[in-house]
Amino acid sequence: MIIFGTRTKLLQNSDYTAVGNCKYCNTAGSIYAYKHVKYFHIFWIPIFPYRTEIMSVCNHCKKVNYQREIDPQTLATIRSGGVPKTPIGYFSGLILIGLLFGSAAAAGISGSIKTKKYLENPAAGDVYEIKREENGKSLYTLYRIANVTMDSITFDVNDYEAEGTKGLRKLREQRGDSYSEKIILARTEVAKMKADNRISTIERK
């Protein structure tokens, strides 16, 4: 089964008006414009067209001319309005990819807005992702707010540390409730940690 590859489609001008006279069979008004679109597809969904070429076909003798073979006058007529438009559907994949990136970016922005908000108004139960670097590796753990005062925050420190974001995900799933030590940090220190990118996200339930 072919799940991706290239396909071609012949598009005809929607108003089907002749664009010229045929030089081969000398029939007047027998030339019609087409556009040959080659596009990439995945599961038959067009991703994007990578090549388009204007073609002309004589309705009478069926002579096909590719773009370079079409006489300049006919080509000018085609270009000035007779070129079939490539339907937007042929860009489905690109549009989809654009939307995905757009929503990922939007999610990232809303996440960082939330993190900023939670940082400014800390509440008991907020879980901070804490990152530190060691020998070029990123190590993560969780700090959970136990208590907040005017100028300090008491955190429960998770008993485990994980390598990388994947390890952190596992830590959350398996050791998300293992806290035994506490640490008290001045709120200015916490702000400094955020500025140093040592706090990646803050979650509130």
Binding region for Zn ion (CB under 5 A) out of 25-33, 88-96, 138-146, 151-159:
25-33
User: Does residue 69 bind Zn ion (CB under 5 A)?
Assistant: no
User: Does residue 64 bind Zn ion (CB under 5 A)?
Assistant: no
Q: Which residues contact 45 (CB under 8 A, 6 or more apart)?
A: 92, 93
For Zn ion, the closer of residues 10 and 124 by Cβ is: 10
User: Does residue 61 bind Zn ion (CB under 5 A)?
Assistant: yes
User: Does residue 22 bind Zn ion (CB under 5 A)?
Assistant: yes
User: Does residue 23 bind Zn ion (CB under 5 A)?
Assistant: no
Binding region for Zn ion (CB under 5 A) out of 5-13, 50-58, 125-133, 159-167:
50-58
User: Does residue 29 bind Zn ion (CB under 5 A)?
Assistant: no
- Contact of 90 with 48, CB cutoff 8 Å: yes
CB of 86 to Zn ion, least distance (A): 26
- Contact of 121 with 188, CB cutoff 8 Å: no
DSSP string, 17-76: ---B--TTT--TT-EEEEEEEEEEEETTEEEEEEEEEEEEEETTT--EEEGGGS-HHHHH
Output DSSP code: residue 91.
Answer: G
User: Does residue 42 bind Zn ion (CB under 5 A)?
Assistant: no
Which among 86, 84, 90 has a CA at the least distance from the CA of 16? 84
Q: Which of 10, 25, 28, 95 binds Zn ion (CB under 5 A)?
A: 25
- Contact of 47 with 7, CB cutoff 8 Å: no
- Interface with Zn ion by CB under 5 A: which residues? 22, 24-25, 58, 60-61, 63
